[in-house]
Structure 1
């Protein structure tokens, strides 16, 4: 049982969220949904105790409500931040596991919002850094430091090329070097799961982008070769307390 007197929302209130949850559970009240979204997540970036406390109820609604599904996913994407709600999040483990299964079933149905659902599933799998930045690979850029010479390298994976380069603000991306995509059998861990899921669901362009993201790049400055995903994860993956 949730002690709502301790579960404040972004306005500091402790009594409004349970009322709103009852309203959306009863009849899907649109105004209640809008207020709930404003109260549980601030600027799509910061979640509050009331948001994590509401997760189990949102997950129960998620199979029949796009707003519940989207709000639950947004809250989970915020879980990478310094929210001070680790105990609440741990209490939601069963609900999050159920949410993962729901999202995976939805991906197999190839919904219009496939990428958003994919990113929500990444967050539910605690892959917060990929949930935050993964795009559709039409015009995606990742910026990281070469692990050997520390120069900033731009990684482009999009319709205009798949390469590493040095970004010059006057000349654009210069000294381009083609990326070396990972072969499916070379992938492991999160990269393997991401690639297999995209292939399973018929999203070949997404799968190809993931193969490049988890492949290798050559530094234009020192010509050393490094794993793109490894370096991006090292620089951006949240460190557990």
Structure 2
């Protein structure tokens, strides 16, 4: 039983979240969902004790409510931060396991909220880095430093192209080099799992983007070749909460 008197939300209040949860469980209360969202997930990736205390309820609603799936996913995306709620997160292990099952079934139905649910599944699997950083490959840029010459390289994967480049404020992306996508049989770890999930569900754009993200790029500055996902992960991997681990490639 949750002691809500000790579960402050992101507004440092303890009484609103349980009331809002009761409202959204009863009906599709749009205003209640809006308020619940900014009480459980604040800007700058902040969450609170009430965020994790609310997870079991959100997971119960997840099979029938897109807003519950999205909000639970946002909370879990931030589980790697310095929120001071590691014990509460650990207590949510059963709910998170159920959430994974719900999301996996939901994704197989090829829903309209596929990408949001895909990222939520990444966070439920503990892949916090990719849950927070993965784009839908329509208009995505992944900035990183070349591991060999420290040049600032822009990786583009989207409708406009798949390339590495040097970005200049007055010229845009210059000296473009085509990315070298990973072959399906060459993928391992998280990249392989993400790619196979997208292929299973007929998400061709997502699968193609993942193959490029986990492929190789040529640095326009020194012409060295490096793995895009490895370098992006190295620069952006979040701090992990105690007792958890995540493989990113």
Any gaps of 5 or more consecutive residues in structure 2?
243-249
Whether the aligned pair in 1 keeps the contact of 2:63 and 2:106 (CA below 8 Å) is no
Q: Deviation of residue 154 (structure 1)?
A: 0.6
Q: Residue in 2 aligned with 1:4? A: 4
RMSD of the alignment, in Å?
1.5
Q: Residue 27 and residue 167 in structure 1: after superposition, are their counterparts in 2 closer, same or farther (change >3 A)?
A: closer
Report the alpha carbon displacement of residue 220 of structure 1 after superposing the two structures with TM.
1.0
Counterpart CA distance in 1 for 2:11 and 2:117 is 28
Shift of 1:44: 7.3
1:158 counterpart residue number: 158
**Pairs within 5 Å for 1:1-241:** 1-43=1-43, 45-240=45-240
As a proportion of its length, which structure holds more helix?
1
- Structure 1 gaps of 5+ residues are none
Deviation at 1:233, TM superposition (A): 0.7
Q: Please identify, of 227-236 and 71-80, the stretch whose mean Cα deviation from structure 2 is larger.
A: 71-80
TM-score by length of 2: 0.92
Q: Is the 8 A contact 1:153 1:167 kept in 2?
A: yes
Distance 1:146 1:108 in 2: 38
Aligned to 1:42, the other structure's residue is in SS state coil
- Alpha-carbon deviations, 1:111-140, whole Å to 9, x = none? 111111111111111222222232221221
TM-score, length-scaled by structure 1:
0.94
8 Å CA contact 1:52, 1:75 repeated in 2: yes
How many residues in Structure 1 have an aligned counterpart in Structure 2?
Answer: 241
Alignment check: 8 A CA contact 2:191 2:214 kept: yes
